[in-house]
Copies of this chain bind each other. A is one copy, B any other.
Amino acid sequence: MVEAPERERAVAPRRGRETRAAIDAAAVELFAQRGYHATSMRALAAAAEIQPAAIYHWYPGKEAILVHLQDEFMAELTERVVAAMAEQDRPALKLAAAVREHVAYHGEHPDEAFVTDSEIRALRERPRRALIAKRDEYQRMFGGLVRAGIADGSLRTSDPDVATYAILLQCTGVALWFDPSGPLGLDEVAAVHVELVLGGLGADRKLIAAAVAAPGGRG
C-alpha cells in the first residue's frame, strides 16, 4: 500500500481552560468591533488560534458564547453596583454611588458593555427574555433610588421614569466614547456624571458637592 504523503498538521498547543478564555476574549473583541452576525465562527477561531471545530468542545454553539458573555457582564455589574449602594444611607447618595460605579464599570469594560446592550436582539426568544428581565430589574433599582430621593425631599423631577431612563442612558454611553488615554480619568468622568445626574434631579449644591466628593466609601 502506498502511504499518503504526511501532511503537516497545524497543531495548536493544548491549553485546556485557557482556550476557553481565548475564545471569550476573541468573542468580546470581535462582537464589539463587527457585531455578532458579522463575526463568523471561523474568524472567532482564528483570533483564538484554534480551528473552528474546537470551539464546539467548549460551547454548544455560537449563541451560547454570546449568552455567556452577557450573563457574566450583567452579574458582575449588578454585584458591584449593589455593593456600592450599600455603603451609603441616604437615597441621593446611594444613587450617586450607583452612578459612579455604573460609569466606572462601563468605562473599564466597554466592549462587554456594548455587546451586552446592543446584541440583545441577536438572541433567540428564551435567552433574550432572560437577559431583558435582568436588565429591567437592574433599571428598577435605579428607579427606586430616584423615587426614594423624591420622597425624602432631596430630589425633584417632573417624571421619575423618564429621568431613570435618561440617567442610565447617559451613564451607559460612557462605554461608547471613553478613552483611557484621554484627558480625563475614569473617576473624573464618573464624578461629572454624578454632578449631571443629581443636578438634573434638582439636588441642591451642597448635596451635589457631598456626593461628588465622597469616593464610593473609600474616604
Contacts and interface: CB of A to CB of B under 8 A. Distances in A.
A34 interface: yes
Interface string A186-203: 001101110111011110
Q: How many copies does the complex hold?
A: 2
A158 B192 CA distance: 6
A202 B200 contact: no
Nearest to A191: B158
Contact of A122 (B38, B122, B170): B38
Interface stretch (A60-68, A90-98, A125-133, A160-168): A160-168
Contacts of A35: 35, 37, 121-122
A159 B177 contact: no
A33 B202 CA distance: 36
Interface centre among A34, A159, A176, A191 (most CB of B within 10 A): A159
A132 to B, nearest CB: 12
Contacts of A189: 159, 162
A1 interface: no
Contacts of A172: 169
B170 A166 contact: yes
A52 interface: no
B163 A196 contact: yes
Contact of A184 (B162, B167, B202): B162
Nearest to A202: B199
Contact of A200 (B118, B176, B188, B196): B196
7 contacts: A35-B37, A37-B37, A162-B189, A166-B193, A195-B200, A197-B200, A199-B202
